[in-house]
Structure 1
């Protein structure tokens, strides 16, 4: 209580008027989500353009980058997972009017971003070459994969620190600057990709290595903008490094939600590794199709993740403020918007699979494998939307383990075993694609059940103060 008394009367009055506790819900969700959705779409466009350029080098280059994708997934899992815990903690502390603790959490977020970059630099230097050697004996694929993997891991600090800056500001309801950080990185990447890959404007032709350099250059530039804005502009939270020492309690609070989120998203990395191991037994084209799908589906899933970036602080704030009415309203509206996005994505994948694959210079083998894959894989989009919003509600209310449980169920308990078994029954690669909609059906049943349990135990007893 003594910490609350330290807050000045004007600051306290400003906090009472926080838009997350009072603004009309639909307008609030749209205003907070649109910047994130827009930046996520640019991010997805970068992913697609990046792979389109790499595909021009050849199918082996696309296979190498596809094999590297789980490494990037793991890197992003740690950054975003930590950010989810940070976002949840800051938004809850703001809702509870514990402003000094929100500031301390933000400072720890910046520290964790830098520490994560150091850890991945060491791991990348040690394990990238053995990683690629475990999947293929093709020396050309291994070399291109190492060229890409060394750069994106050893120079990953830009990504981690940028994500920390984004999550700190998003937790306060500021979605514009995080959008600008992501746009800066993505646009820089898109511009530099062809210059470094193909050697435009007098630059040396670097191929896959050039794609990696363009990626980290964008991340570092986005990080620099994030640091400038966080320290030089006025915000609802402040980052302080003078006399900073890691606080075990704050770290525990961040990772109580963040660690399950890291594990949850890391599972996606291991799932992709497992699926690549199954698919490469059929053909390199099947691995390339999986890589292309991962990039294409990001154009559908990224807007939903942008939506959840807007939903997370709204849910966390109103849960912390004990406002059940607004919390449930945010969940219902979020579910409707997410399903609408996924309906459009399902139509896109079913109506234009050939055109989508042609963007990646697809060979005849990729076409014959990829067209039916697009039809089958897109069948999981709508059910995935429902599960994603429920997962966000679990994280926002401090129940990160519930999100972890659903992710483990989907990606380890169901997808990998089902993909392995179906691929061995004569279905081949088709068995791998079928595992996705099967897993989402199982997951949505458990997500609904977990939400009902959390509602009955905690949400039901919150107030309805407007």
Structure 2
């Protein structure tokens, strides 16, 4: 499939039309992928409250590796897009190969550590003793296949850096569809396939990742977007360092989210398994409700990186403002939809009255802050796109550990779970205002230095 948007159009065509062309395929891909992940939660929920709670305890851990993969993808996209904006296509192809190799090695190492330290990790998360066997069943398979998760994610970043957002969307959507097909077969059994419970849910993910890895590697080679040929002034170590200089701070920033969620899970565990199960469902729903945010956070960086590399600073600012306006308006619409459908959503995921009540409570409060959360996430991705990963990292630190966790905890002391959710909304509003000011200050500084 041809690229939806050419590299030339990223630095010349009207911003709103270009951003829309790049974003709508990603919306479809992300929505399909996340919706099937929600289906995954639905099938596990059919096994009972304990399996649902057990898989909910794994979210902070699995998202740590996912965050590393996302961060490495951010570094890859930023470096390759800027080089394409500068007209250095050969360097971009070579750097793509280095990015895939480095990402696979890093995720493999972290997975091995996770396998060795499973018990202390989940005990520290306050997982109840009876849930540990279910958690181990799920995580052993998940860790074993994690390398097959990172390759499609970094491969998709390589594609997006060239302006192609349609192909990554198709790969994401196909992975989600395959996972949804394999889930019920492997969880509940079908014909000669035995019922595997939570192990089946993990195995379904690994199989879909395997197919995604094969697809993305074939397509990258077919489109000549990766090459082992070393340009004259390039070196593997130099390329790896450039990618990791952005990728590691970006990964660190992303890893702060599961770390914060681990702290939140430990806090919520004090309210019982029902609260943990409801929070797990809520975080999956949050991913689904944040599809627009996630999609723009993937399509916006190549647009900003290439214009930043071409020193088109006004276009950088226009792209950022256009993206923020779209996110705020659309998230308000999504909140209204969630508000109207909350009772129905709760009934889909559980028969437990207490879990259903807490799911409804989550939906009534938390999505109020998703628009502001979108401002923070897009500011973060814009910093990375402009090769300012440390600013992105500090913004994440402020959002999660200066604002979100402390204000949520204080809220829980005042009004239990209701207060905890309200504290999270307030934290997003304050941090969004700070992120806006921070980005404007940074961009104006770069603009002045270039003019000087």
Which of the five TM-score ranges fits, normalised by the shorter chain? Answer: over 0.9
Aligned to 1:4: none
Quote the Cα distance in structure 1 between the aligned partners of 2:329 and 2:66.
26
Aligned to 1:329: 318
Aligned to 2:292: 303
Structure 2 length-normalised TM: 0.94
Aligned to 1:76: 66
Q: How does 1:205-284 map to 2 (within 5 A)?
A: 205-231=195-221, 233-235=222-224, 237-240=225-228, 247-284=236-273
The change in CA–CA distance for 1:212 and 1:279 in structure 2 (over 3 A counts) is same
Q: Is 1:290 aligned with 2:279?
A: yes
What do residues 202-228 of structure 1 show as CA deviations (whole Å, max 9, x unaligned)?
310001000000011111110110011
Q: How does 1:46-65 map to 2 (within 5 A)?
A: 46-65=36-55
C-alpha deviation, 1:116, in angstroms: 2.4
C-alpha deviation, 1:334, in angstroms: 1.1
Retained in 2: the 8 A contact 1:33–1:175?
A: yes
C-alpha deviation, 1:135, in angstroms: 3.4
Out of 344, 353, 374, the residue aligned to residue 385 of structure 1 is: 374
Retained in 2: the 8 A contact 1:117–1:155?
A: no
What do residues 108-140 of structure 1 show as CA deviations (whole Å, max 9, x unaligned)?
111122212321331232012332233346443
Q: Which moved more, 1:64-73 or 1:431-440?
A: 431-440
Structure 2: state its 5+ residue gaps: none
Aligned to 2:396: 407
Give RMSD over aligned pairs: 2.1
C-alpha deviation, 1:48, in angstroms: 0.6
C-alpha deviation, 1:406, in angstroms: 1.5
Quote the Cα distance in structure 2 between the aligned partners of 1:401 and 1:395.
8
C-alpha deviation, 1:445, in angstroms: 2.1
Quote the Cα distance in structure 2 between the aligned partners of 1:461 and 1:37.
36
What do residues 370-408 of structure 1 show as CA deviations (whole Å, max 9, x unaligned)?
322221111211211222222222111111112211111
What do residues 166-191 of structure 1 show as CA deviations (whole Å, max 9, x unaligned)?
01111010112211221221111000
Q: Is 1:98 aligned with 2:84?
A: no
Q: Which moved more, 1:99-108 or 1:59-68?
A: 99-108
C-alpha deviation, 1:288, in angstroms: 0.9
The change in CA–CA distance for 1:173 and 1:462 in structure 2 (over 3 A counts) is farther
The change in CA–CA distance for 1:435 and 1:221 in structure 2 (over 3 A counts) is same
Structure 1 length-normalised TM: 0.91
Q: How does 1:350-389 map to 2 (within 5 A)?
A: 350-389=339-378
Aligned to 1:19: 9
Quote the Cα distance in structure 2 between the aligned partners of 1:75 and 1:413.
23
Quote the Cα distance in structure 2 between the aligned partners of 1:143 and 1:16.
50
Retained in 1: the 8 A contact 2:99–2:154?
A: yes
Q: Which moved more, 1:454-463 or 1:97-106?
A: 454-463
Quote the Cα distance in structure 2 between the aligned partners of 1:216 and 1:371.
32
Out of 442, 445, 448, the residue aligned to residue 454 of structure 1 is: 442
For 1:32, what is the secondary structure of its paired residue? helix
Quote the Cα distance in structure 1 between the aligned partners of 2:142 and 2:60.
12
Quote the Cα distance in structure 1 between the aligned partners of 2:434 and 2:230.
46
Quote the Cα distance in structure 2 between the aligned partners of 1:225 and 1:178.
10
What do residues 294-326 of structure 1 show as CA deviations (whole Å, max 9, x unaligned)?
100111212321122111101100010011232
Quote the Cα distance in structure 1 between the aligned partners of 2:258 and 2:127.
21
Quote the Cα distance in structure 2 between the aligned partners of 1:58 and 1:454.
50
Q: Which moved more, 1:206-215 or 1:448-457?
A: 448-457
Q: How does 1:104-253 map to 2 (within 5 A)?
A: 104-136=94-126, 138-231=128-221, 233-235=222-224, 237-240=225-228, 247-253=236-242
Quote the Cα distance in structure 1 between the aligned partners of 2:304 and 2:330.
20
Retained in 1: the 8 A contact 2:250–2:392?
A: yes
Quote the Cα distance in structure 1 between the aligned partners of 2:431 and 2:385.
19
Quote the Cα distance in structure 1 between the aligned partners of 2:6 and 2:212.
32
Retained in 1: the 8 A contact 2:7–2:85?
A: no
Q: How does 1:33-52 map to 2 (within 5 A)?
A: 33-52=23-42
Quote the Cα distance in structure 1 between the aligned partners of 2:284 and 2:9.
35
Q: Which moved more, 1:287-296 or 1:297-306?
A: 297-306
For 1:57, what is the secondary structure of its paired residue? coil
Out of 320, 327, 337, the residue aligned to residue 338 of structure 1 is: 327
What do residues 312-362 of structure 1 show as CA deviations (whole Å, max 9, x unaligned)?
101100010011232222112211221232112211222221111112124
